[in-house]
Amino acid sequence: MARCVVCGNDYDKAFMISQDGRSQTFDSFECAIHALAPRCAHCQCRIVGHGIEASGKTFCCAHCARESGTTGAVDRTSH
């Protein structure tokens, strides 16, 4: 079994994720998100989707980007 680096659970179905040449073991996607997902530069929520990059920062949505002073930010939508 392998131990989760976030919660310490020793789990027989744990998995590894490699990022930037470093591998870590997790017992759930929840723990992986907690450890690896970036935070919105405005509201600090974890960005699980695509997010928006503007002015060298990452935001969870266009609203947060605009609230932080980015002009012209729009969420991706399909029609």
Three-class SS state of 27: coil
pLDDT band at 67 (very low <50, low <70, confident <90, very high): very high
CA dihedral 47, 48, 53, 59 (to 10 degrees): -30
- Predicted confidence at residue 5, as pLDDT, reads 97
Higher pLDDT, 2 or 79: 2
Would you state the structure tokens that stand for residue 75, as one six-digit string? 């969420």
Give yes or no for residue 1 having a pLDDT over 70: yes
Q: How far, in Å, CA of 48 to CA of 45, rounded?
A: 9
pLDDT band at 79 (very low <50, low <70, confident <90, very high): low
Encode pLDDT of 4-61 as tens digits. Answer: 999 999 999 999 999 999 999 999 999 999 999 999 999 999 999 989 998 899 999 9
Q: How far, in Å, CA of 38 to CA of 41, rounded?
A: 9
Other residues' Cβ atoms within 10 Å of the Cβ of residue 64: 23
Three-class SS state of 69: coil
